[in-house]
């Protein structure tokens, strides 16, 4: 009997500790799952770090201790910085006149790799191993001050990450955010709808336009493609599409004011 008691005691203590320090245990039992934001985001979490871009700087916060972020670096990048995207150990940062690529091989110290400037316009970026896709959008009467007069989808060859090469320019209407889903590229082209491109042919840098999808005369601003679903940010809410066939989004639920 005594033997069993001594065996049970540490187990009992562990259970008690679990129950008592709930707050602290929250963090360690927390699987630390992150979610996914859109291409217009200024915040992105990669492993134990939160990366933020404000109008001029890239700031890295160590969030190993979830509730106690610690700023570990703050780097000036340029002016009118707007968006941040992660692919592998790289950050792609969009601004009003350039796309910047930073390495986060050393996650607490992002290091500049390359940049590609373009004519003045607003631009989010998404990328895969072969290409970076950037939409550039110019000022409209009642939208944010982007300046310039170009509206397009730019494709950069990033096989050599240090020398991004502009290889394609596709004219667009009023393009905002974009999303990559395997061999499909979705571009939110304002009131012209959600445009769908096939990018399965990696030797052809030009995305193959398939079609546009529109929902009740609304404006598409951004989209997130994840686990068979596409979530679109609209002018007054959101729509969810089934993309089990990525070329044929099927509208499911929505909340539009």
Partner 1 sequence: MSKLCYFLISAGMLLAVSCNNKGDKEVMGWAPVYASAEDITVQNESPLPPIENAGKIYIRGDYFYQVENGKGIHVIDVSNKEQPVQQAFIRVAGAQELSIRGNNLYVNSFNDLVVIDISDVQNSREVHRMKNTFHMFNSTTPPQSGYFECVDESRGTVVSWQQKMLVNPKCRY
List residues near partner 1 by CB under 8 A. Answer: 26-27, 30-38, 40-45, 50, 52, 54-57, 59, 61, 63, 66-69, 71, 221-222, 224, 226, 229, 231, 233-238, 240, 242, 252-257
SS (H, E, C) 141-199: CCCCCCCCCCCEEEEEECCCCCCCEEEEEEECCCCCCEEEECCEEEEECECCCEEEEEC
Minimum distance between the CB of residue 185 and partner 1, rounded to whole angstroms?
A: 18
CB closer to partner 1 out of 160 and 227: 227
Residue with Cβ nearer partner 1 (8 or 32):
32
CB nearer to partner 1: give 15 or 256: 256
Which lies closer to partner 1 via its Cβ, residue 164 or residue 177?
Answer: 177
Least Å from the CB of residue 10 to partner 1: 28
Q: Give 158 or 188: the residue with its C-beta nearer to partner 1.
A: 188
Count CB-CB contacts under 10 A for residue 155: 23
- CB burial string 157-183: b at 16+ within 10 A, e below: ebeeeeebebebebebebbbbbbbbee
**Smallest separation (angstroms) from partner 1 to the CB of 80:** 12
For residue 30, the minimal CB distance to partner 1 (Å) is 3
- Residue (26 or 149) nearer to partner 1, CB: 26
Q: What is the DSSP pairing of strand 208-213 with strand 81-87? A: unpaired
C-alpha to C-alpha distance for 182 and 172, rounded to whole angstroms: 22
Shortest Cβ distance from residue 178 to partner 1 (Å)? Answer: 13
d(CA 218, CA 197): 20
What CA–CA distance (Å, rounded) separates 25 from 20? 9
Q: Which is nearer to partner 1, 150 or 180 (CB)?
A: 180
163, 208 contact by CB (below 8 A): no
Q: Considering the complex, what minimum distance in angstroms separates the CB of residue 97 from partner 1? A: 19
Secondary structure E strands in 199-247: 208-213, 220-226, 229-234, 237-242
**Residue where the block lists tokens 């500790």:** 17
| Closest approach of partner 1 to the CB of residue 12, in Å | 26
């Amino acid at each position: 009997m005594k033997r069993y008691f001594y065996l049970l005691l540490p187990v009992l203590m562990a259970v008690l500790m679990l129950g008592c320090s709930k707050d602290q245990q929250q963090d360690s039992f927390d699987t630390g799952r992150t979610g996914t934001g859109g291409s217009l985001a200024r915040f992105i979490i990669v492993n134990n770090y939160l990366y933020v871009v404000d109008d001029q700087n890239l700031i890295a916060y160590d969030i190993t201790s979830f509730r106690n972020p610690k700023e570990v670096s703050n780097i000036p990048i340029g002016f009118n910085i707007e968006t941040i995207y992660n692919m592998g150990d790289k950050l792609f940062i969009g601004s009003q006149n350039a796309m910047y690529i930073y390495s986060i091989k050393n996650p607490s110290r992002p290091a500049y790799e390359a940049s590609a400037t373009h004519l003045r316009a607003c631009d989010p970026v998404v990328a895969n191993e072969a290409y970076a896709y950037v939409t550039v959008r110019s000022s409209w009467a009642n939208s944010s001050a982007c300046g310039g007069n170009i509206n397009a989808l730019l494709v950069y060859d990033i096989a050599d990450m240090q020398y991004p090469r502009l290889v394609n320019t596709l004219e667009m209407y009023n393009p905002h955010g974009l999303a990559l889903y395997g061999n499909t590229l979705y571009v939110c082209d304002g009131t012209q709808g959600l445009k769908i491109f096939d990018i399965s042919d990696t030797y052809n840098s030009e995305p193959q336009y398939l079609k546009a999808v529109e929902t009740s005369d609304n404006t598409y601003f951004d989209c997130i493609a994840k686990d068979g679903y596409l979530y679109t940010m609209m002018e007054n809410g959101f729509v969810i599409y089934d993309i089990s066939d990525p070329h044929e989004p099927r509208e499911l639920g929505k909340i539009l004011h």
